[in-house]
Structure 1
Amino acid sequence: MEMEQDPTMDIPQSMRAWIYKKVGMPNSVLQLSHDRPIPSLSSDTSILVRVSHVALHLGTVFLMNFVPFLFRSSPSCAETDFSGVVVAVGPKVPQSPPDPESPDLQRYFPPGTAVFGSIAVAAHLQGHGALAEYLVVEMDAIARKPENLSFAEASGLAVSGATAITLIDAADIKPGDCVLVNACCGGVGHFATQLAREKVGETGTVVGICSSSSTQIAMQLGCNEVLDYHPAEDGTTLTDALTSTFGGQAAFDAILDAYGSQTLWHVSLAFLKSGVDHPYTSVGPALTSHTLAGMLSMIANMVTNTLLPVWAGGVNRVHKQVASFVNIEKLERIRELSNKGKLRTHVGAAWEFEDAIEAYEMLFSRKAKGKLVVRIWEPASNLSFTS
């Protein structure tokens, strides 16, 4: 199979990558390999990317900790979301802009193109991962990097951005609505907050739930008001704060739960308007512990949240749990929103490649703001990217 390669980039014989050969948490199973082979193009439409930055997310940790190697390849490489530069492409990858009338106007990737994307779950289970110096993906797994975002910012867009878009679409928010966003500064939540702000417009209201230390970020993202999820020193809870501020009426047209709080779902009856037009949309119950018991509890909550009838103790509100897979349509929506300044990644912190385990420790604290990023390579400012 012939391929086009960027003549300005020499492809080495081997690379570094964080790999694992058994199920477990990152700090116990991940190993930094210094001699992994450079992956080869796997099809006429595959693309070799030199990875710049990788963004962590809990979904890949779930796969690392719970999917046995009976159902995946060994060794596996960690993580799926990345940014980087195309260095080689298969013969059927478009390398020049299509006809101006084409709906796929931005779907061309000559070597030298700055991109972001996400490795598909099926490919990830076959051992492919982003936490490496090079990776191979199919063309439908990437999009051109938004021009106004850094490589670090772009690396966090794919899965969290796609999930936030799905969350917003499910909520069917309208101009002038009053919306509550739980975890408004988190990996998914900070994207959902920006999108909610755009949907409700100047006449609408976005109320965010986050830690008090994140208040300024929440306001910058588009919140009109921010509530602290921590109990106050006098014992006042989040429910008390909601009741004090919005008590006596169901104030919210929609609730976006980007964390998966069972407590918020169970008390939502008092704050969320009734009817099918006012849903509680959620990313699903939070995994309270990375154990088999924690996973079973999460699955049980998923079932009861949507199926438990009111007479048996269920909540008398519409519950929509979303799941999102990255595809071309969502990647291009994300790219367009970012280029228009309507969606931007907040990078909470960044670590060097060798310190990736420290990034995971912050991820597990569930106190991170925005996206946590691992820096593998910083493209030079004078590097000419294909436009």
Structure 2
Amino acid sequence: MKALEYSEFGGNDRFRIAQREDPHAGPDVLVVRVVAAGLNPVDYKVREGYLRGILDAQLPAVPGWDVAGIVEQTGLDTPEFAVGDAVLAYARADVVQHGSLAELMPVPVRTAARKPEGVSFTDAAALPLAGLTALQVLERAGVHAGQTVLIHGASGGVGSFGVQLARLRGARVVGTASEGSHDYLRSLGAEPVVYGDGLVPAARALAPQGFDVIVDFAGGSSLDNTPELLADGGVVVSIADPRARTEFGGHYVWVRPDADQLAELAALVETGELRVEIAGTYPLDDAATAYAELEKGHTRGKIVVTV
């Protein structure tokens, strides 16, 4: 099969298109013919070697955990699915080796959900990691109706889902983003503010009593102003800054595969209650270019590679 792989840690120039042996189906593993693969920043952070000590990689490795495709082979104990089923998955394995940037991918059955007929493969591939991250963060924070929530990085791949899911829970959402993304955030139901200088007075003007929940999807200096913005008894959650837990007594979340939650998200996409923003699509042969675009850090929505 054809795949995008890297044989040593480093920059984008380590990528190459290669021929690899087809994967096999383990007892609780599906082999999925990939139709589309969603890209995430964690993919290139693993390739750069930044996550050694947290995630093991067996080289040469194929990146990608987000996948949408057709079941080509079932394992010995995978009664949930049959050959020909359309599925999507956040197919994170314990070792980074067989990713979704390939014609075929081994997918642990516990990570897979059925793709609704009304959801395109492109949208399905963009959903797993980012959608599950947003959902699990909001659940950890206990976001509910009547709360006012501040989301840092609200226009990104995860933030876009976070805004919508918080609104579906009945919360009022204020989102930080560059000014060029403000109309986009309004279309998702958020009240936008510019990050950086002037954030505190602008945010406090919208929520004079402070925010019940502060969600950090951006990292960096996003949490620096938390003491000035958090309401008494408020909750802080981050996917990028451990200070959410160590300094502010909140939560630091690393997304987990969850097939039931993924099915829930896919159903919301099918009904139109959850919108998937696609920043661009690339063929597999141009996957390195797709990652280079993602690495610029200014993507609104998700980048997908079609296979």
Identify whether the pair has TM-score above 0.5, normalized to the shorter chain: yes
Match of 1:135 among 105, 118, 139: 105
**Are positions 1:362 and 2:301 aligned together?**
no
Q: Deviations over 1:189-248 (max 9, x none)?
A: 111111110112xxx42111112222232122221x21123x6xxxx53334335x247x
Could you tell me which residue of structure 1 aligns to residue 192 of structure 2? 226
- Going from structure 1 to structure 2, the CA distance change for 1:307 and 1:282 (only over 3 Å counts) comes to closer
Could you tell me which residue of structure 2 aligns to residue 97 of structure 1? none
Could you tell me which residue of structure 2 aligns to residue 105 of structure 1? none
Q: Output the CA distance in 1 between the equivalents of 2:10 and 2:209.
A: 43
Could you tell me which residue of structure 2 aligns to residue 273 of structure 1? 231
Q: Is the 8 A contact 2:238 2:244 kept in 1?
A: no
The alignment of Structure 1 onto Structure 2 pairs a total of residues equal to 305
Tell me the amino acid that sits aligned with residue 305 of structure 2. V
Match of 1:372 among 300, 303, 307: 303
Could you tell me which residue of structure 2 aligns to residue 284 of structure 1? 240
SS of equivalent to 1:273: strand
Q: Output the CA distance in 2 between the equivalents of 1:241 and 1:24.
A: 40
Could you tell me which residue of structure 2 aligns to residue 237 of structure 1? 198
SS of equivalent to 2:68: strand
Q: Percent identity?
A: 29
Could you tell me which residue of structure 2 aligns to residue 101 of structure 1? none
1:175 Cα deviation after fit: 1.1
Q: Output the CA distance in 1 between the equivalents of 2:52 and 2:142.
A: 38
Match of 2:4 among 18, 29, 51: 18
1:115 Cα deviation after fit: 0.9
SS of equivalent to 2:232: coil
Correspondences of 1:105-184 after superposition (within 5 Å): 108-122=80-94, 124-125=95-96, 127-184=97-154
Match of 2:212 among 253, 258, 262: 253
1:68 Cα deviation after fit: 5.9
Q: Could you list the runs of 5+ residues in structure 2 that have no partner in the other structure? A: none
Q: Is the 8 A contact 2:61 2:98 kept in 1?
A: yes
**Are positions 1:82 and 2:82 aligned together?**
no
- Going from structure 1 to structure 2, the CA distance change for 1:71 and 1:273 (only over 3 Å counts) comes to closer
Q: Is the 8 A contact 2:26 2:76 kept in 1?
A: no
Could you tell me which residue of structure 2 aligns to residue 100 of structure 1? none
Q: Output the CA distance in 1 between the equivalents of 2:175 and 2:100.
A: 32
- Going from structure 1 to structure 2, the CA distance change for 1:226 and 1:305 (only over 3 Å counts) comes to closer
Q: Output the CA distance in 2 between the equivalents of 1:349 and 1:206.
A: 26
- Going from structure 1 to structure 2, the CA distance change for 1:68 and 1:207 (only over 3 Å counts) comes to closer
- Going from structure 1 to structure 2, the CA distance change for 1:83 and 1:71 (only over 3 Å counts) comes to closer
1:71 Cα deviation after fit: 4.8
Q: Is the 8 A contact 1:250 1:270 kept in 2?
A: no
Q: Is the 8 A contact 1:79 1:131 kept in 2?
A: yes
**Are positions 1:333 and 2:292 aligned together?**
no
Q: Output the CA distance in 2 between the equivalents of 1:355 and 1:210.
A: 29
1:258 Cα deviation after fit: 1.2
1:174 Cα deviation after fit: 2.1
Tell me the amino acid that sits aligned with residue 216 of structure 2. D
Q: Could you list the runs of 5+ residues in structure 1 that have no partner in the other structure? A: 1-14, 95-107, 286-301, 309-316, 377-387
- TM (normalized to structure 1)? 0.73
Could you tell me which residue of structure 1 aligns to residue 180 of structure 2? 213
**Which structure: larger Rg?**
1
Q: Is the 8 A contact 1:178 1:254 kept in 2?
A: yes
**Are positions 1:58 and 2:41 aligned together?**
yes
Could you tell me which residue of structure 1 aligns to residue 245 of structure 2? 306
Q: Deviations over 1:75-130 (max 9, x none)?
A: 11111111111122234322xxxxxxxxxxxxx322221111122231x42x2111
Q: Is the 8 A contact 1:23 1:68 kept in 2?
A: no
**Are positions 1:344 and 2:275 aligned together?**
yes
Q: Deviations over 1:35-66 (max 9, x none)?
A: 222212222x3212110111111112222222
SS of equivalent to 2:231: coil
Correspondences of 1:85-96 after superposition (within 5 Å): 85-94=70-79
Q: Output the CA distance in 2 between the equivalents of 1:307 and 1:193.
A: 25
Q: Is the 8 A contact 2:44 2:291 kept in 1?
A: no
